[in-house]
C-alpha cells in the first residue's frame, strides 16, 4: 500500500486498536493511522466535521471498522459511508469479534470490502492482523474528493 493512504481504525477497545496498529507495522505497513474510539468520531472525521483532526480532500483512506462501538455502531457507520457519493469508494474492512452469519451478510449487503473476525486467542489475533497487513501491501485505494 502506498504511504499516502491513511488507515482509520474505528475501535472502542484501546488494547485492540494498539494490537492492530502494532501488528500492521510488523507486517511492513508504515502508513499514518488515525484511531477513533466510537462511530460518531469516525463519521465526524470522514464527513469533515471533526475540529481536532482534519481530513483533507484528495486523501486516500482505508477504514478498519469494529461493529460494537458506542454512540454509533459499525454497521451504521458503514451504511452512512456507503450512501455518500464520495466516501463510498473508500475500502471498509470490518474487524470484529462477531462471527454471526447474519451480521457478516448484513455488512456485505451494506458494501463492506471484507469481513474479518477477531480471534479471542492473542496469538491468532496477531496472525490475522499480520495477514491483513500483507494484503494491505498490495491493495490499491482510491482518493476521496470533495467536501461532504
Q: How many domains does the chain have?
A: 1
Region for 147 from its dihedrals, namely left if φ exceeds 0, alpha if ψ lies in -120 to 50, beta otherwise? beta
What pLDDT, in 10s, does the model give residues 73-103?
Answer: 999 999 999 999 999 999 999 998 888 999 9
**For residue 32, what are the domain limits?**
5-138
Cell numbers that stand for 103 in this block: 451480521
Q: Is residue 145 part of a domain?
A: no
CATH code: domain of residue 91 = 3.40.50.2300
Contact predicate 37/12, CB 8 Å: yes
The owner of cell 471533526 is: 50
Question: Considering the domain boundaries, does residue 79 fall inside one?
Answer: yes
Expressed in angstroms, the distance from the first to the final Cα of the chain is: 25
What is the mean pLDDT of the segment spanning 108-126? 90
Note whether residue 143 is domain-resident: no
Give the model confidence (pLDDT) of 4-62 as tens digits. 889 999 999 999 999 999 999 988 888 999 999 999 999 999 998 877 888 877 788 99
The CA distance from 96 to 67, in Å, is 6
- Tell me whether residue 115 is in a domain: yes
Q: Say if residues 5 and 61 touch (Cβ distance below 8 Å).
A: yes
- 144 within domain boundaries: no
Confidence of residue 64 (pLDDT cuts 50, 70, 90): very high
CA distances for 3 relative to 107, 113, 122, angstroms: 27, 20, 28
Residue 3 has pLDDT above 50, yes or no: no
Q: What is the pTM of this model?
A: 0.90
Amino acid at each position: 500500500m502506498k504511504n499516502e493512504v491513511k488507515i482509520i481504525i474505528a475501535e472502542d477497545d484501546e488494547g485492540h486498536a494498539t494490537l492492530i496498529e502494532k501488528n500492521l507495522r510488523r507486517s511492513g505497513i508504515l502508513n499514518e493511522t488515525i484511531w477513533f474510539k466510537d462511530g460518531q468520531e469516525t463519521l465526524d472525521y470522514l464527513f469533515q466535521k471533526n475540529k481536532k483532526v482534519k481530513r483533507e480532500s484528495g486523501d486516500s483512506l482505508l477504514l478498519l471498522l469494529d461493529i460494537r462501538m458506542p454512540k454509533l455502531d459499525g454497521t451504521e457507520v458503514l451504511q452512512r459511508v456507503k450512501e455518500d457519493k464520495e466516501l463510498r469508494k473508500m475500502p471498509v474492512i470490518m474487524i470484529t469479534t462477531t462471527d454471526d452469519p447474519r451480521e457478516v451478510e448484513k455488512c456485505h449487503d451494506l458494501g463492506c470490502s471484507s469481513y474479518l473476525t477477531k480471534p479471542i486467542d492473542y496469538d491468532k489475533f496477531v496472525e490475522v492482523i499480520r495477514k491483513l497487513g500483507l494484503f494491505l501491501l498490495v491493495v490499491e485505494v482510491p482518493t476521496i474528493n470533495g467536501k461532504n
